[in-house]
Amino acid sequence: MKNVLFYGDSNTWGYQGDDPMHRLDADKRYTGVVAAQFPDVHFIEEGLCGRTICSTDPIDYGRNGMAMLPALLATHDPLDVIVIMLGTNDSKTMYGHSPFTISDAMDRTIKLMQSPLLWSNTMQKPQILLVAPPKMGENLADSVYYGMFNESSAALIRALPARFRTLAEKYGCAFVDGSAVTAAKCSDQIHLTAEEHAVLGRLIADKLRELL
């Protein structure tokens, strides 16, 4: 059986901005939408609210995705495909990132994932499906998270697809432009509704079918 790891943040975890006390049901998350199309594949969800590519949150510990990655890869080794969708939380105002620094962090993350000598017992080198994060909604100023994220954050996210596509080409990864989906229907303008998860899941499943 093939193993696929989803590595992401709150949208991978299934956070509902309009109902934050309840995690979106497994079959409604984009990960579940994908899994339903591949019944003979083992899917592993590693979604964590607040997870970044490389930034260390001074309040919430354990959110630095690059720091946590080797242990998680070793935990789930061997892996056939890693689907990674990160970047939204790196756009928080407190981090002060630019499109260059976010894409540079993803560059280093991909190299880490392609270097099983650093983490793998089986030495199996997984394929990588890089997903650019969904766009933020146009009414971000009305979001409960406004201030944590602002218009500069939204602009950063809009700049990532082109850079991530270039990274995918550089390292021979598959790519999905998740910015085809906008977090427009949730009041916080950051998190996806079940309907938006379904759209993203179909996009990822179509590309994953080429890899499995």
Angular region, 106: left φ>0, alpha ψ -120 to 50, beta rest? alpha
Beta strands 135-136 and 2-8, pairing class: unpaired
CA–CA dist 187, 183 (Å, integer): 9
**At 205, is the pLDDT very low, low, confident or very high (cuts 50, 70, 90)?**
very high
Determine the pLDDT at residue 204: 98
Q: Give the residue-averaged pLDDT of 113-120.
A: 94
Q: Give the residue-averaged pLDDT of 125-129.
A: 97
pLDDT in tens, 36-71: 999 999 999 999 999 999 999 999 999 999 999 999
Q: What percent of the chain clears pLDDT 90, i.e. is strictly above it?
A: 99
Q: Give the residue-averaged pLDDT of 146-167.
A: 97
Determine the pLDDT at residue 57: 94
Q: Give the residue-averaged pLDDT of 85-103.
A: 97
CB distance 161 to 204 below 8 Å = no
DSSP output for the chain: -EEEEEEESHHHHT--TTSTTSPPPTTTSHHHHHHTT-TTEEEEEEE-TT-BSS---SSSTT-BHHHHHHHHHHHH-S-SEEEEE--TGGGSGGG---HHHHHHHHHHHHHHHT-GGGT-SS----EEEEEEPPEEPTTGGGSTTBTTB-HHHHHHHHHHHHHHHHHHHHHT-EEEEGGGSEE-SSTTSSSPPHHHHHHHHHHHHHHHTTT-
Closest CA to 89 of 38, 149, 171, 138: 149
pLDDT, the chain, mean: 97
Determine the pLDDT at residue 16: 94
> Phi and psi of 56, rounded to 5°?
-100, 115
DSSP output for 171-211: HT-EEEEGGGSEE-SSTTSSSPPHHHHHHHHHHHHHHHTTT
Determine the pLDDT at residue 56: 95
> Phi and psi of 140, rounded to 5°?
-60, -30
pTM of the model: 0.97
CA–CA dist 174, 129 (Å, integer): 5
**At 201, is the pLDDT very low, low, confident or very high (cuts 50, 70, 90)?**
very high
Determine the pLDDT at residue 122: 96
Determine the pLDDT at residue 128: 98
Amino acid at residue number 75: T
pLDDT in tens, 70-83: 999 999 999 999 99
